[in-house]
């Protein structure tokens, strides 16, 4: 009869998320994870399986809170500005030196499984849909510059999101992160 787990899987998954977020996938070994979590390597492997499965579990945990960052009572330009204000605050407070787990994985070129790639693709599609919906609203409200297409605006906003978290990862100053985002938004909206 197998022994019951002597650890809280949710707490371990939270710690996994933090560790992978900070260190990336390839820089981390199972021994590193076991040591960081205070769990024997065998117990960790029995509970989760491979290192790839550990990363997937961590990313799934991150994904449960990720979409909450896109909830807003606003529509159009105001919703996009609110998202970026929140992202700037997150990036320049908690995210300095860490960036965003999703963006870090997208930029890493080390997606170990098709399942994780599919999860990343779904999150990217969710973000792009958020930007698309709110840009359509901004266009209807004549807040979007007439020279900017929805598709180009979505690409610009997605690039601004990736860029702001990349700047945070490289420890750029909060002022630089803010100005980077604000300059991107000024290029899209009639009044910003």
Q: Which fold has domain 72-186?
A: Tetracycline Repressor; domain 2 (1.10.357)
Q: What is the pLDDT of residues 144-178, one digit of tens each?
A: 999 999 999 999 999 999 999 999 999 999 999 99
Domain with CATH 1.10.10.60 in the chain: 9-62
**At 66, is the pLDDT very low, low, confident or very high (cuts 50, 70, 90)?**
confident
Q: Please tell me the predicted confidence (pLDDT) of residue 110.
A: 77
**Taking Cα atoms as reference points, which of 120, 130, 125 lies closest to residue 59?**
120
Query: Per residue in 1-38, pLDDT tens?
Result: 455 456 778 888 888 888 888 888 888 888 888 898 88
Report the CATH fold assignment for 9-62.
Arc Repressor Mutant, subunit A (1.10.10)
115-134 pLDDT, tens digit each: 999 999 999 999 999 999 99
Q: What is the pTM of this model?
A: 0.88
In the chain, CATH 1.10.357.10 covers: 72-186
């Amino acid at each position: 009869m197998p022994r019951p787990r002597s650890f809280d899987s949710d707490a371990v998954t939270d710690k996994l998320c933090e560790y992978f977020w900070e260190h990336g996938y390839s820089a981390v070994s199972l021994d590193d994870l076991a040591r960081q979590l205070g769990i024997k390597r065998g117990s960790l492997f029995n509970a989760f399986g491979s290192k790839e499965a550990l990363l997937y579990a961590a990313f799934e945990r991150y994904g449960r809170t990720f979409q909450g960052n896109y909830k807003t009572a606003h529509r159009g330009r105001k919703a996009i500005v609110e998202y970026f204000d929140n992202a700037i605050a997150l990036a320049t407070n908690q995210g300095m030196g860490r960036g965003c787990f999703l963006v870090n994985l997208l930029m890493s070129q080390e997606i170990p499984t098709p399942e994780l790639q599919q999860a990343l693709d779904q999150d990217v599609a969710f973000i792009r849909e958020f930007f698309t919906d709110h840009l359509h609203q901004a266009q209807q409200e004549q807040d979007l510059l007439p020279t900017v297409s929805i598709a180009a605006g979505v690409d610009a906003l997605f690039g601004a999101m990736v860029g702001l978290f990349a700047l945070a990862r490289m420890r750029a100053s909060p002022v630089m992160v803010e100005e980077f985002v604000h300059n991107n938004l000024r290029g899209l909206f009639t009044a910003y």
